[in-house]
Structure 1
């Protein structure tokens, strides 16, 4: 079994240079209450991510906007989430986990209220940006769990929280559609506001206050700004590339902007005393392969589950000709429901056998399952069974171990740095995957769908290769 980041090999609490003294791990009812409070906090994010999607057409009608304009309701939310995950996670090293998490949840509630009362699309979009900050709740929750729980229960608890990332039992999108149909889109935000307020109260009551900051010094705001602009350019570059073409002027302009600001970020990080994450760490095989594996795994598998198979299932000519609701019920809900059970079990297993080996096993099984779909794309029930099995291999094994490695591989002097960067990698990988395969799936032919699936298989195989480059931290000698 691995040694926890807050214990030595004998299980004794200890602190690393530059870190606060870590308290003995919570046990029993206190540990369960902590997990429940953090779970409610991440549910507030997941509801914002999934309940809103079915209501987008109704939002467009109510606010007199086009569907193209209303699409920013989702894109800005996820972009804000990618940036917030990096910035607020690292900020918690300086200001404390509890304080930062309460700030994130408070701003999320303000944004939800704006969305519920929005008289126009610009106000709604401003609210969605504030709501996107709730993405940081995941990364902060993972770090809190690692710091406040024993190694014996950390993996299972992390799996419980990760399970929500696949949807709240697979029913949140369906509930959002019902509220939109019968009460309008504002009812969705009213329901989310209640959850967000409850999460804020529970976190304030249950999450222990930090004795003092983990990292002394100042937050690297210049580095945060440079990385944020680079992520914006990268995200919009992928978006424009997938819709307008990869050689179009705007696509190239965003690509150049991403390269320039990533270079600025690297220059800033070399000169600041307390960087967002030190360049030497980014070069380390303990860090960069984790980020690379996350981007590639999300690029490969997410696009299959959430795009290619959904489009194929609704194609009346080359696919199965299903309605949107039936397609979601058959090809989205089962994997999400299975993931709710598989993720905690995966965390429990990884905590005992090693996070890196379990990640590699999950990726091998994902490649095999995607290959099955590519070989039999016209067999509805084979595709159904394969996607459902991905609830174990992908939603369970891969996502849980990637989140676990984001915590356990992070530098000791900046324990929230890698979780934040890894969270941004999740969002970028998901968007990149759809952008890459969309032109092939858009052909609406079996050849096009097969090509899209084969590309996803190849990218997932690259994720497996990247995972082979991960070197475990010194206090995890059993990982290899």
Structure 2
């Protein structure tokens, strides 16, 4: 295994241009996947008319992607470790293109749900890309490159919103999905041409029982969270789904601890560094998504409310776009702090910046430039945090488990965003004002959501403070990756 770990560093060190190509292609793939998730946002209000369906049924076009992503992310990560990360990356991009084409050809609900499900199955591209970087890049490039790869999620999302709004305003809505398909084909061709397949693999047998159990638990949990507001939080269906998620997770955990080759190595996930990084990821996922729910509504609400700015969806996209650029710009700074002080400090700095951004938003929300400023501040904090998380995860797991561990961390962020959506939805629906016979979220409702977002960032800071101290070079040297986990394991045995 030591030879396998040394090989990528030597190869990367002797061919910097090749390393640059690997980073650029993988970052592009991450941006394409995040664009896919954003492209549908401008047409959500019109989907019922486009698909000849009720609003509640049309919402499944969004819910299906969420559920599929939750299921696919840990499964693709584990398969990547077993049979090849590049192969699973290509498979994910094929699913993205296929789903985009199905959506582009659809005019009714069922094909749209099928297409959006296929698109959601491509969600593992970013953790797979980070894992490929660990295998292929020289040690000194790893921290900066993984920070950039993590930032690609925000970059694609921020740039995709104004682009999607422009396309939706000037072209047929199907063009959105043809655009997604075309970008997916470009990413596939570049990965196929420029990304090598790693020789670092675990082999063995795939844990089918574990994957089915985790999938059932995640679908039950996220379905209850995403639909609870519509069905009612005390509705028997909602309560049954929550109960099923708990029971299935307990049984799944029992199975994973007893099978020889588990889908998720729970003994690794309870190591302090992995556990607290994943818990902080949930809090960060919550905090980041709270902003995505608040700012667009503030911009679009009518000025008659006294706090709405009455702007178009295109303006919303333009306001949010700088956030993605800031995330990309902070990636090198995040990497520098990670190299010199360790990823724990980088994560804590990111949490403080995000909390400050929400605090700023509570007092600055009456002008467009206020929201641009807030978006950029929070984007900078998220850029720091998302750059540190992969370094923390890779610093505690062996190379053979990199993709699975990164995928689980990505899943934790997704759970955080789902919870944020549910919590913010309840607050904005309960704290309202009446305008022209319509019920709209009140100004205080937005401030409460911002305060909760700040609180989630503070919680992430506190969780990060429990992370073990780490040598600066541990985050960037593949040979050192896993040493922290080995030390913890030795301590546990002692």
**Global fold match (TM > 0.5):** yes
Distance 1:405 1:327, change over 3 A: farther
User: 66-75 vs 468-477, which deviates more?
Assistant: 468-477
Specify the alignment match of 1:458 in structure 2. 455
1:418 aligns with 2:405: yes
CA distance in 1 between counterparts of 2:469 and 2:73 reads 23
CA distance in 2 between counterparts of 1:311 and 1:45 reads 24
Once the 2 structures are TM-superposed, how far is the Cα of residue 202 of structure 1 from its aligned partner?
1.3
1:201 aligns with 2:198: no
Higher fraction of helix? 2
Distance 1:267 1:40, change over 3 A: same
CA offsets 1:382-428 (integer angstroms, 9 cap, x no match): 4542332112122x212222233333333444222211111111211
Partner of residue 87 from structure 2, selected from 86, 99, 117: 99
Once the 2 structures are TM-superposed, how far is the Cα of residue 73 of structure 1 from its aligned partner?
1.7
Specify the alignment match of 1:180 in structure 2. 168
1:339 aligns with 2:327: yes
RMSD: 2.6
Specify the alignment match of 1:362 in structure 2. 350
Alignment of structure 1 residues 337-416 onto 2, 5 Å: 337-378=325-366, 381-394=369-382, 396-416=383-403
Once the 2 structures are TM-superposed, how far is the Cα of residue 244 of structure 1 from its aligned partner?
4.1
- How high is the TM-score relative to the length of structure 2? 0.86
Unpaired segments of 5 or more residues in structure 1?
1-5, 7-12
Specify the alignment match of 1:10 in structure 2. none
1:223 aligns with 2:210: yes
CA distance in 2 between counterparts of 1:176 and 1:342 reads 25
Once the 2 structures are TM-superposed, how far is the Cα of residue 126 of structure 1 from its aligned partner?
0.8
Specify the alignment match of 1:3 in structure 2. none
The question of whether the paired residues in 1 share the 8 Å contact of 2:34 and 2:157 is answered with: no
The question of whether the paired residues in 2 share the 8 Å contact of 1:311 and 1:441 is answered with: no
CA distance in 2 between counterparts of 1:265 and 1:115 reads 34
1:87 counterpart SS class: helix
Specify the alignment match of 2:126 in structure 1. 138
Distance 1:104 1:465, change over 3 A: same
The question of whether the paired residues in 1 share the 8 Å contact of 2:210 and 2:256 is answered with: yes
Once the 2 structures are TM-superposed, how far is the Cα of residue 377 of structure 1 from its aligned partner?
4.9
The question of whether the paired residues in 1 share the 8 Å contact of 2:327 and 2:379 is answered with: yes
User: 273-282 vs 88-97, which deviates more?
Assistant: 273-282
Once the 2 structures are TM-superposed, how far is the Cα of residue 38 of structure 1 from its aligned partner?
1.4
The question of whether the paired residues in 1 share the 8 Å contact of 2:103 and 2:112 is answered with: yes
1:36 counterpart SS class: helix
Distance 1:203 1:139, change over 3 A: same
CA distance in 2 between counterparts of 1:106 and 1:478 reads 32
The question of whether the paired residues in 2 share the 8 Å contact of 1:295 and 1:428 is answered with: yes
Specify the alignment match of 2:490 in structure 1. none
1:415 counterpart SS class: helix
Specify the alignment match of 1:311 in structure 2. 297
The question of whether the paired residues in 2 share the 8 Å contact of 1:281 and 1:411 is answered with: no
CA distance in 1 between counterparts of 2:113 and 2:369 reads 40
Unpaired segments of 5 or more residues in structure 2?
432-440, 477-483, 485-494
The question of whether the paired residues in 1 share the 8 Å contact of 2:85 and 2:403 is answered with: no
CA distance in 2 between counterparts of 1:116 and 1:33 reads 31
Partner of residue 150 from structure 2, selected from 162, 173, 177: 162
Partner of residue 55 from structure 1, selected from 35, 40, 43: 43
The question of whether the paired residues in 2 share the 8 Å contact of 1:14 and 1:22 is answered with: no
Specify the alignment match of 1:469 in structure 2. 466
2:308 counterpart SS class: coil
Distance 1:404 1:72, change over 3 A: farther
CA offsets 1:322-355 (integer angstroms, 9 cap, x no match): 2242651464222223223223432343234311
CA offsets 1:181-205 (integer angstroms, 9 cap, x no match): 3331221222221211121121111
The question of whether the paired residues in 2 share the 8 Å contact of 1:50 and 1:167 is answered with: no
CA distance in 2 between counterparts of 1:477 and 1:92 reads 23
Distance 1:260 1:62, change over 3 A: same
Once the 2 structures are TM-superposed, how far is the Cα of residue 142 of structure 1 from its aligned partner?
0.2
CA distance in 2 between counterparts of 1:204 and 1:326 reads 35
2:401 counterpart SS class: coil
Distance 1:381 1:189, change over 3 A: closer
2:175 counterpart SS class: helix
CA distance in 1 between counterparts of 2:172 and 2:318 reads 26
CA distance in 2 between counterparts of 1:181 and 1:380 reads 21
CA distance in 2 between counterparts of 1:60 and 1:242 reads 19
Once the 2 structures are TM-superposed, how far is the Cα of residue 253 of structure 1 from its aligned partner?
1.1
User: 31-40 vs 84-93, which deviates more?
Assistant: 31-40
CA offsets 1:259-309 (integer angstroms, 9 cap, x no match): 011112101111211112222222211211111100011212321x11123
2:156 counterpart SS class: coil
2:76 counterpart SS class: helix
2:204 counterpart SS class: coil
The question of whether the paired residues in 1 share the 8 Å contact of 2:32 and 2:156 is answered with: no
1:167 counterpart SS class: helix
1:45 aligns with 2:37: no
